[in-house]
Structure formats: C-alpha cells, structure tokens
C-alpha cells in the first residue's frame, strides 16, 4: 500500500525540487494542467514590464536594433534547440503551431513534387492527432491534391507508409491518452519509403527527452505555452535542419523570411536555412516573455526531468488504482514508460463534472470530450506529495458524490 510518507520520501531525494521556487505558483492549488498552460516563471513579469516601459516606452523604434527585437525569433529558437536535440540555427520561433504545420507540410510536399519521376500524393497521419493538425492537413490536402491516410487510434502508422507517401505527419505524444510514438523507428520507416517526416512536439517539448538530430527528423513544430511556460498564446517553433532547409520553399513568403527584408525589393528571395520559415513581424512582447521563461532551462538536465515525470505519472496511476478502483475509472494512458508522455488520462462517464468539482477543491486538471479526465505532471514544479493529495481529493469527490451538484452540470465555454 502506498502511503503519504512514501511520496514524501521520493520528494526528499528529488534533484529538481529547488525549481519549484522559480515559479509563481498560486497558493492552495495543485496545478495539474501544465500540459495545457504552464505556470508563470518568476522574472517573466519584470522582463515584459521592462520591455514595455524601457525598450518600447523610451527607446521606441530604436529597440529593433538596440534591444535586439529583430533577432528574437532566432535567439529564442536557439534556446529551445537543446531541449529538442537540435543544432543552433535550426529552430525559429513565431506564428502558431497551426500556421507552422501548414508551412512545413507545404514545404515537404513541394520538395517531394520537385523530385524527378515522383508522383507522391499521400499524407499519412493519425485520426487522433490534436484537431488543429488534422484540420490543417485537410485544408492543405485540398490545395495540394493529396490523399490522406489515417492510422487507427493506437495503431502503428508504419503499415500505411509506402512508395506513394509524400509526407508522414504525427503528434509525438497523443494529447488525449499521452501515448508516445517511437520517433526513431517511424522516421526511419518514412525515409526507407522515400517520405519526409513531420513531428508535432506540442505535448513533448519540455516533458520528454528528444533528439531530433539523432532521429534524422526532417521537420518539427511545437507550442511553447505548455511545459515551456511561455504564457497564453505564446508563439510556436519550427524546426528544419540545415541539411534540408536551404532546399525548401514554403508558401507563406512574408517579408521577414526574405534574404534581405529591408531591401524592399519586388520579388521574394528566401532567407538562409531556417530563416525562410519566418513570415511576418516578430511578436516582441510574447517573445521576450518566452525568452525569460526559457532562461531556467539552462539549468535543467532533461534525463533527470524525464525520470521525475515517469515517477510522478507512475505514482498517480498506482494511487488511482489503489484509492479509486471501485468507482469505475479506467486508466487509458500507457503503463509502459517508453510509450508514455507526461500526463495521465482517466476515462469516466461523468468526467466533466468530476473535474469541475476537483477544481473547486484546489486540484486543477482538464477534461477532453467525451469522457477523459486529464492530469498533467510538470516535473519542475509538481511534487510527489501533491500527487498523493490530488488522488485523495479525487477519491473524496467520487466517494461523496460531490460531482453530482447541479452547479457542475452546465458546460463552460472553455473546458
């Protein structure tokens, strides 16, 4: 039987415990929703305020040069690069995950079409991608005249990849179940069949160990407001290694992606390597917030972070089985550590009502229709003792039937 003292013993030897003090955590809240919106790191507020008051307020337009605003997309990209196993100069930050997916998918398809004798028209993906991925794929497929093949939930996409496949586009960690694909094996299968590989790392970056270079990945995108704690609506990143980037064209040829944007010439000439994935003017306030948030990652060992993530999620699943097994909850997240991201999802018919009741009791997770309760474990600020307490409050909500209160029956606009 797992007791509170067991969780506290794990915390006593946690090498990441000190990172908790580097976040502005709300009092009396166990925040298990960092996989949707990360907590505010200390120092971000001051950095953004300084940018507004000094760089914008006093230096005005001179700050594009004086404060380095113009180089923020590449500078912040270089801070993300080591977290995903990429080289400096291979990552750029700007726009949203959806927009960046469109850029990469279009660039990959154009590269395949340019190959002599090729007639590749197939995009392989997964029906349970985060919806924006599939919506972007569907929209791009109409423009490109492509066919989409979806793998069934939980099934390997490899049998769908063949000589007709142009691109494989997958979400590395499933947003619903936290099931994680074997990046190296699938990327190799794509390449063995002449296809290009795109990974969405939105539920991976800052949560699991990644090595895009070692896996020979062609493209990747990801958001920065989850485990990277960049703030609501923080800009996303795009990865394309130098070995391929200089050969690519992407259709959103905005002026910041031009080789010389301030020449103001008529015709577009793409910039070097990853710079050609830039589009419009950098979102300066969002970028400086993200830059400040990323500063603490210089002190994080990703192997240690991954080990704690697995420890927290394993403890949570074991406790749910121990304390809540009689209530009909089903754990849908893989038990196998090699196949698991950093959140745990529980299937329950009345999951929405339970999550609202939990929030009123200081445990914040989220819900994914139709019946998944989702709990995210951010290793930098979540403890094992909090994990133990969260399950105790879940048990209390289920045992008391508190979720049946009328106030929890109406769906909120954002759930």
102 is catalytic: no
130 is catalytic: yes
SS3 call for 269: coil
Which of 252-270 are b and which e, b meaning 16 or more Cβ less than 10 Å from the residue's Cβ?
bbeebbbeebeeeeeeeeb
Name the catalytic one among 14, 95, 200, 218: 200
181 is catalytic: no
Name the catalytic one among 31, 102, 109, 130: 130
Q: How many angstroms separate the CA atoms of 134 and 369, rounded?
A: 17
Its pTM stands at 0.96
Name the catalytic one among 31, 102, 225, 408: 225
Q: What is the pLDDT along the chain (415 residues), one digit of tens a residue?
A: 999 999 999 999 999 999 999 999 999 999 999 999 999 999 999 999 999 999 999 999 999 999 999 999 999 999 999 999 999 999 999 999 999 999 999 999 999 987 887 789 999 999 999 999 999 999 999 999 999 999 988 899 999 999 999 999 999 999 999 999 999 999 999 999 999 999 999 999 999 999 999 999 999 999 999 999 999 999 999 999 999 999 999 999 999 999 999 999 999 999 999 999 999 999 999 999 999 999 999 999 999 999 999 999 999 999 999 999 999 999 999 999 999 999 999 999 999 999 999 999 999 999 999 999 999 999 999 999 999 999 999 999 999 999 999 999 998 888 6
Q: How many angstroms separate the CA atoms of 91 and 86, rounded?
A: 8
226 is catalytic: yes
348 is catalytic: no
SS3 call for 23: strand
Pick the closest to residue 112 from 205, 225, 40, 198 (CA basis): 198
Name the catalytic one among 374, 375, 388, 408: 374
Name the catalytic one among 120, 226, 340, 356: 226
């Amino acid at each position: 039987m797992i007791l509170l003292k067991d969780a506290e013993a794990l915390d006593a030897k946690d090498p990441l415990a000190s990172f908790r003090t580097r976040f502005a955590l709300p009092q009396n809240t166990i925040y298990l929703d960092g996989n949707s919106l990360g907590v505010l790191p200390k120092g971000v507020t001051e950095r953004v305020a300084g940018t507004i008051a000094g760089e914008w307020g006093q230096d005005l337009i001179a700050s594009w040069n004086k404060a380095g605003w113009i180089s923020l997309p590449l500078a912040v990209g270089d801070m993300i690069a080591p977290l995903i196993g990429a080289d400096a100069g291979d990552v750029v930050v700007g726009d949203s995950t959806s927009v960046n997916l469109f850029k990469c998918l279009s660039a990959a398809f154009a590269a395949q079409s340019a190959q002599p004798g090729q007639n590749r028209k197939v995009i392989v993906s997964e029906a349970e991608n985060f919806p924006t991925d599939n919506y972007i794929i569907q929209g791009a497929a109409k423009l490109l005249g492509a066919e989409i093949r979806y793998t069934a939930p939980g099934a390997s996409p490899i049998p769908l990849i063949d000589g007709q496949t142009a691109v494989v586009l997958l979400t590395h960690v499933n947003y619903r179940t936290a099931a994680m694909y074997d990046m190296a094996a699938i990327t190799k299968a794509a390449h063995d069949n002449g296809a290009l590989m795109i990974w969405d790392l939105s539920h991976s970056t800052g949560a699991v160990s990644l090595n895009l270079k070692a896996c020979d990945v062609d493209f990747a995108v990801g958001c920065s407001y989850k485990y990277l704690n960049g703030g609501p609506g923080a800009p996303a990143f795009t990865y394309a290694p130098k070995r391929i980037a200089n050969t690519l064209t992407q259709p959103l040829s905005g002026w910041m992606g031009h080789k010389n944007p301030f020449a103001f010439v008529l015709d577009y000439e793409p910039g070097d390597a990853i710079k050609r994935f830039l589009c419009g003017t950098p979102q300066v306030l969002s970028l400086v917030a993200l830059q400040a948030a990323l500063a603490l990652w210089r002190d994080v060992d990703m192997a240690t972070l991954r080990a704690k993530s697995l420890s927290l999620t394993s403890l949570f699943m074991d406790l749910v089985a121990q304390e809540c097994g009689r209530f009909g909850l089903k754990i849908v997240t893989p038990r196998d550590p090699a196949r698991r991201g950093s959140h745990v999802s529980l299937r329950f018919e009345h999951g929405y009502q339970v999550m609202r009741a939990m929030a009123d009791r200081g445990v914040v997770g989220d819900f994914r229709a139709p019946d998944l309760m989702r709990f995210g474990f951010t290793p930098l600020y979540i403890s094992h003792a909090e994990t133990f307490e969260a399950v105790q409050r879940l048990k209390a909500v289920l045992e008391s039937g508190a979720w049946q209160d009328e106030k929890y029956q109406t769906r909120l606009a954002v759930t």
